[in-house]
Structure 1
Amino acid sequence: MTEADSRSTGTAPAPAGAASGRAGKVVLGFAAAVALAAGGVAAFRKPHEDVALVQPQPPAPTESQTPSVDDVIAKLEKRLAENPEDAEGWRMLGWSYFQTERYAEAATALRKATKLDPEHAETFSFLGEALVLASNKEGRIPPDARAAFDKALKLDPKDARARYFKAVAMDLAGNHRRAINAWFALLADTPADAPYAEDIRKVIRDVADKYKIDVEKRLAEAQFAAPAGGMATDGAKLAAGAIPGPTSTEMRAAAGLPKGQQEAMINGMVDGLEAKLKARPENPEGWIMLMRSRMQLGQPARAAQALQDGLAALRNDQENARRLREAASSLGVAGA
C-alpha cells in the first residue's frame, strides 16, 4: 500500500456497483480502489489482488494458456481500431488498462464507453474512480470525477462505488459525521456476504477514530442487506447476542484467581471450545461463538482462522456457511 498523503489514518476499498442486466455478468468486489478518507489519498488494493470492479468479462482464451492483461489489451486495441463504436469493447479496454495501473488511459477508454452507452451507471462510477487515481491532486476528488459519480447516481441511486466516493467527498469537505452516516447507509445496503462489507466498516472506524466520533455501538447494531446469494440469515444476530458464559461454579472459581490466572482460565475455556469444534465441526453456532470469543480476547488472526476452519467444515452447507460469513462480517473478522 502506498501512501500519498501523510494525513490519512486509514484506507478501505470502494465498493463495486450493483449488477446491471445490460452489462452482462458483473463481478462484485473491489480493485485498486482509492480512499481519500480522513483527509488523505491512499491506494490500497493493487489491481492484481483478488477481486475486480464492475467489469465486462474479457473474451475467453482460445489457447490452453490464459492470455496476460497485455495480450488482452493488444487484442482489444485492434478490435476497437476496426470497430470504434463498440461500447463494451471500450469498457473492457478501460478495465484492462486499470488492471495495469494505467489510470489515465483507463479513464480515456471509459469516457468513450460512456459516450457510446450513456445509460450505464457502473461505467460512469468506474470512470470516476479511474479519474481519481489518475489525478495528481492529493486530498481531493477532481471535478470531472465528481461529475462522473453524480451521473452514476442519477442513473442508479444505489451505485455502491459512487455512493462510497460521495461520502469520501463529504469527509474531505470536513463533514465527517455526515460522511460516516452515508457510509452507514451504504453498509445497510451491502449484502452481508459481500467481500467489501468489512472494508466499509473499516473506513467508518478509521475516520471515527481520527475525529473522536464514537461509532462502535452503531457498528455492533448495523444491519446488512440480504446476502447476494439469497435471504438474510441470523448470523449477525447470533454474533451480537449473548455467548453462553461459564457456570456459576466456574465464575466463583475465577473470581478468586489473580488477574493473570483469570485470563488463563478464560483462554483455556475458549481453547476448549476450539478443541470441541475440531472434534465435531458441523456446528455453526459454535464457530460463531469461537470467532466472537477470539475477537473479544484481542486475537483477530485466530478469529480469522476460526472463520476459515468453520467455512471448510460447512462447505457443503450453503445456508450455515452464509450465517458464518454474516456473523464474521458483523464482528469485523478478516476474510468474511
Structure 2
Amino acid sequence: MIDRLAARLETTPEHIQGWRMLGWSYFNTGHYEQAAAAYARAVELDPSSAELKASYEEAKAKASESDNLETASSSQTETIAKSGDGPSIEKTAEFEAMPPGARDAAIRSMVDGLADRLERHPRDVEGWTRLMRSRVVLGESEVAAAAFRKALEVFKDDSAASGRITAAAIELGLKTE
C-alpha cells in the first residue's frame, strides 16, 4: 500500500496530505529515512506547518538513532532535488510544466545522479534500495538487478544491510530464489 501511495505521488507531487500520509506510513513501519524524505517534501510544500516540521524533525531524529543520519540526509537531498535545485515551489511548477520528454529526461538524470553518488559513496543501504526501485519504475529491471548485485557486493560484510537490500529486491521482483 505504501508503494502505491508513493507511486501516486509521482503523478501528483503537489499533494501535501499525500506526502504527510507517506511520511506517517514510513515512520510507523520503521523506515525513518524514507519518512524524513517524505516529510521534507511536505514541509517544502507547506513551510508554515508546525505539525509537518515536528514530524520531519522526529523522523530525522529516529533515523539518527538508527545510525543512518547520512542516509536520511541523502534522502532529504534527493527528495528536494525532485523539484529542481532546492526547496522552491516555483521550481516544482517549472518541473511539472516541462514537456513529458524533458521531464522523463530530468527524472532519468536524477536517477543516474543517485547511481553516480553511490559509486563514490557506496555504503548507503537506503540509497541502493531507492536506486533499485527507481530503475524498476523506469522499466530498467536488468539495470536494477545489476544494482542489487553491486549493493550485495558492497555490503558482503554486513549481514543486516544485505538482508535489507535482499528484502527490497524480493519486494521489487528482482530476486525469486
* Contact 1:237–1:327 (8 Å) recurs in 2: no
For residues 245-284 of structure 1, the aligned pairs below 5 Å read: 245=79, 246-247=82-83, 248-249=87-88, 250-284=91-125
1:290 aligns with 2:126: no
Q: TM-score, normalised by structure 1?
A: 0.28
Q: AA paired with 1:321?
A: S
Letter in structure 2 aligned against 1:326: A
Post-superposition CA distance 1:175-233 (Å, at most 9, x none)? xxxxxxxxxxxxxxxxxxxxxxxxxxxxxxxxxxxxxxxxxx5997xxxxxxxxxxxxx
Deviations 1:100-131, CA, capped at 9 Å, x for gaps: xxxxxxxxxxxxxxxxxxxxxxxxxxxxxxxx
Q: Partner of 2:168: helix, strand, or coil?
A: helix
Q: Structure 1 290/219 Cα, relative in aligned 2: closer, same or farther at 3 Å?
A: closer
Instruction: Find the partner of 1:307 among 148, 152, 168.
Output: 148
Q: Displacement of 1:335 after TM fit?
A: 6.0
**Shift of residue 316, structure 1, vs aligned partner:** 1.0
Shift of 1:295: 1.0
Structure 2 CA distance for aligned equivalents of residues 252 and 274 of structure 1: 26
Using structure 2 for the length normalisation, give the TM-score: 0.51
Identify if the C-alpha distance between structure 1 residues 219 and 276 changes in structure 2 by more than 3 Å, giving closer, same or farther.
closer
8 Å Cα contact 1:300-1:334 kept in structure 2: no
The residue number in structure 2 matching 1:14 is none
Q: Which has the larger radius of gyration?
A: 1
User: Is residue 326 of structure 1 aligned with residue 157 of structure 2?
Assistant: no
Q: How far, CA to CA, are the matches of 1:257 and 1:298 in structure 2?
A: 21
Secondary structure of 2:156 counterpart: coil
* Unaligned residue ranges in structure 2 (runs of 5+): 5-28, 39-74
Q: CA deviation at 1:251?
A: 2.5
Q: Distance in 2 between matches of 1:265 and 1:218?
A: 24
Structure 1 CA distance, aligned partners of 2:106 and 2:2? 31
Amino acid at match of 1:319: A
Cα 1:219/1:332, change in 2 over 3 Å: farther
Q: Aligned residues, how many?
A: 104
Query: Quick one: structure 1 residues 219 and 262, their matched pair in 2 at CA, closer, same or farther if it must change by over 3 Å?
Result: closer
Alignment deviations for residues 41-72 of structure 1 (CA, whole Å, 9 cap, x no partner): xxxxxxxxxxxxxxxxxxxxxxxxxxxxxxxx
State how far apart, in whole Å, the 1-side matches of 2:143 and 2:168 are: 15
- In terms of fraction of residues, the more helix-rich structure is 2
Amino acid aligned to 2:96: A
Distance 2:102 2:3 in 1: 32
- Alpha-carbon shift at residue 293 of structure 1 (Å): 0.7
How many Å separate the matches in 2 of 1:277 and 1:284? 10
Tell me the distance in 2 between the aligned counterparts of 1:286 and 1:305.
Answer: 14
Superposed CA RMSD in Å reads 2.8
Report how far residue 333 of structure 1 moved. 1.7
Query: Contact (CA 8 Å) 2:166, 2:175: kept in 1 or not?
Result: no
Deviation, 1:256, is 2.5
Contact map agreement 2:118 2:128 (CA 8 A) in 1 = yes
Report the CA distance shift for 1:271/1:258 in structure 2 as closer, same or farther (over 3 A): same
Q: In 2, distance between residues paired with 1:313 and 1:330?
A: 20
Partner of 1:3: none
Could you tell me which runs of 5 or more consecutive residues in structure 1 were left unpaired when the two chains were aligned.
Answer: 1-216, 221-235
| 2:111 partner amino acid | V
